[in-house]
Amino acid sequence: MQLGRDFARVVNQLTKERGLPPELIRSSFEAALISAYKKYRGGEQDAEVVVDIENGSISVFETRKVVRKVNDPELEITIAEAVKSGVSPKPKIGDIVKIPKNPEEFGRIAAQTARQVIIQRLKDAERQIIFEEFANRIGEMVSGVIVKSENEHVVVRLSERSEGILPREERIAREKYIVGERMKFFLLDVRQTTKGPRIIVSRTHPGLLRKMFELEIPEIKDGIIEIKNIVREGEGRAKVAVFSLDPNVDPVGSCVGNQGARIKGISKELMGEKIDVITWSSDPLVYIRNSLSPAKITRIEPALDQDRAVSVFVHPDQLSLAIGKSGQNVRLAARLTGWKIDISPIEVDRMPTLQDIFHDINITDEEAE
């Protein structure tokens, strides 16, 4: 059978438009024709189809096993029949021979029957390519354009043929997702479903902030500064612990940048998220003190009755700053360090004021009278 040059043109078009390799299209077409041929013949034939995508020719074969006595004519053939058909000059028992089967009417039936099968197989192949492409990129930062933002549904176009979903729990609080706006996301997960790959992206994952630091701060990219840990909350606050492998490089200053230029650029990408960059230390008490930045800590004492727990004491005017709004600062510090942190105010001894002195003099005079 002959499909002609039009077939080759269709293959080239599919290759360009869908990015599918010609070999994949050919094998899909062959599998579809085998299915169509079996339906046409109405039996359980062991069929084989060979397609030449260069000239559009199709060859159909039915395979038979050479036996002494035929029990199933759809699957078996005798030596004499094999020789007579000319498919094998010297067949032996157990050989598999191919018998050409090219009925003229099958050409029309094949075109009708195979069409839907081919389309479905191409869709499946395309979905598999998309799945493999993004499954290998889990944990990376990706860029996408918002194409839908309605109530629970935020859909992001990641490429010409793939879209991602931004679940509610992966969104930054109060962030607006405007159709047509391009944003950066963290590729969280890729799942294969009956409807194709389900790609999940995030705006709140610590990995997104890590990738932004690696992109914007050369010292991190070059391995001079190491990110030890990152914690984030969807309410717009994060803490990043960094450490310099070069004693001459200030890790916090390098991340913040001149007049805060570097950290402001990252914060702007995350809807103004407040990012505390602190110095990591192998000394847990020093690390905890740093983690409570920007609060100033007066004293830290390990808890004797608990593992990995400390009591932190601050001046009264630093208490709200250390705890943070709704406890956010101390909660992030605890997650960053892995220690339980209990914060208490400490009363500070103060010098007597003039009011105190006059108050004491009046009391003394009253007692003398």
Residues 220 and 257: their CA atoms lie apart, in Å, by 13
* pLDDT band per the 50, 70, 90 thresholds, residue 177: very high
Of 125, 122, 123, which Cα lies nearest the Cα of 133? Answer: 125
Beta bridge partners of 192: 197
Instruction: Please give the radius of gyration of the chain, using alpha carbons only, rounded to the nearest integer.
Output: 36
Neighbours of 67 (CB within 10 A): 17
Same domain, 12 and 129: yes
**Residue 325 DSSP code:** G
Say whether both 227 and 263 belong to one domain: yes
Last residue of a domain, one of 134, 158, 177: 134
Q: Is 342 exposed, middle or buried (0-12, 13-18, 19+ CB in 10 A)?
A: middle
Rounded mean pLDDT of 38-57? 77
- Output the pLDDT for position 210: 97
Q: Residue 59 has which token pair?
A: 């060859």
The residue behind tokens 């839907």 is 116
Paired residues of 196 in beta bridges:
193
* Residue 222, pLDDT above cutoff 60: yes
**In angstroms, rounded to a whole number, what is the distance separating the alpha carbons of residues 68 and 209?**
72
19 C-beta neighbours (distance < 10 Å), count: 14
Q: How confident is the model at residue 5 (pLDDT cuts 50, 70, 90)?
A: low
Q: What is the pLDDT of residue 125?
A: 79
Q: What are the CA-CA distances from residue 175 to residues 49, 171, 172, 178, 219 (Å)?
A: 56, 7, 5, 10, 30
In CATH, what number is assigned to the domain containing residue 262?
3.30.300.20
- Are residues 320 and 289 located together in one domain of the fold? yes
Domain end call among 227, 261, 280:
280
pLDDT the model gives residue 46:
84
Residue, of 231 and 32, whose pLDDT is higher = 231
Sign of CA dihedral 177, 183, 185, 189: positive
- For the residues 234-247, what does the mean pLDDT come to? 93
CATH code of the domain in which 198 resides: 2.40.50.140
Count how many domains the chain has. Answer: 4
What does the pLDDT read at residue 353?
A: 57
- If asked whether residues 254 and 368 sit together in one domain, one would say no
Query: Is the same domain home to 16 and 130?
Result: yes
Question: Beta partners for 50?
Answer: 59
Answer for the pair 279, 247: CB distance below 8 angstroms, yes or no.
no
Read off the pLDDT of each residue in 149-153 and give the average, rounded to a whole number. Answer: 82
Q: Could you tell me if 126 and 20 are in contact, meaning their C-beta atoms sit under 8 angstroms apart?
A: yes
Residue 222 shares a structural domain with residue 318: no
Per the structure block, which two tokens stand in for 136? 């290998």
291, 353: one domain: yes
Count CB-CB contacts under 10 A for residue 288: 22
- Residue 326 Rama label (left phi>0; alpha psi -120 to 50; beta): left
Domain residue limits at 109? 5-134
With a pLDDT cut of 90, the percent of the chain lying above it is 52
The tens digit of pLDDT for each residue in 121-139 reads 778 878 888 898 899 999 9
State the pLDDT confidence band at 367, using cuts at 50, 70 and 90: very low
Question: Residues 34, 59: one domain?
Answer: yes
Which CATH number belongs to the domain containing residue 98 in this structure?
A: 3.30.1480.10
Q: Are residues 44 and 112 in the same domain?
A: yes
Whole-model pTM? 0.71
Say whether both 217 and 175 belong to one domain.
no
The two tokens of residue 279 are 């110095």
Peptide linkage before 251 cis (omega within 30 of 0)? no
Residue 21: pLDDT over 90 = no
Residue 149 and residue 127 in one domain = no
Taking CA 181 as the corner, what is the angle to CA 176 and CA 183, rounded to the nearest 5 degrees? 85
The amino acid sitting at 192 is Q
Name the domain boundary from 220, 254, 280.
280
Using DSSP bridges, classify how beta strands 141-150 and 153-159 pair: parallel, antiparallel or unpaired.
antiparallel
Rounded CA gap, 313 and 359, in Å? 31
Same domain membership, residue 129 and residue 9: yes
Helix (H) or strand (E) holding 36: helix 22-41
